[in-house]
Amino acid sequence: MKTHLIFGRGRLTFTYRSQTNPQPICADILDDGTVHVFGNPEIGNAVPMDVYHGIIQRVGVWGVSTQAEAREWYRSNKTLIQRIVAGMDKRWDGNNFVGTLTDDARRALDTLDCPE
């Protein structure tokens, strides 16, 4: 499965005026192989509906503050990302389209999101 990396507009790290800490860096993994690395604009536990429904898989990118570091994170985790993308699908649950993952994709996502 081919994947590719893109970045959000502007800086990866930023701090809102009313906040003391910078926003966390995260990566959205889409089923077409796109990996979008960006500073999370949400404060608290808010997430977009596609993330909430699992159509887009979002993971924290820890220890990264520059695009060069994000590229290295991507290169070192590319195999896990490919396994996730290969196992992504979506289905209608009667109310919404929701994302599904194969068992292997779930294991890869758990490893990527919570490294040892």
Q: Which two tokens stand for residue 81?
A: 């990302």
**pLDDT tops 80 at residue 110:** yes
**pLDDT tops 90 at residue 115:** no
List pLDDT tens digits, range 3-47.
778 786 666 878 888 888 888 889 999 999 999 999 888 887 789
**Secondary structure string (H, E, C) spanning the chain:** CCCEEEECCCCCCCCCCCCCCCCCEEEEECCCCEEEEEECCCCCCCCCHHHHCCCCEEEECCCCCCHHHHHHHHHHCHHHHHHHHHCEEEEECCCCEEEEECHHHHHHHHHHHCCC
Q: How many structural domains compose the chain? A: 1
Q: Is 113 within the bounds of a domain?
A: no
**pLDDT tops 60 at residue 116:** no
Q: Is 35 within the bounds of a domain?
A: yes
Q: Is 115 within the bounds of a domain?
A: no
Residue 93: give the domain boundaries: 4-107
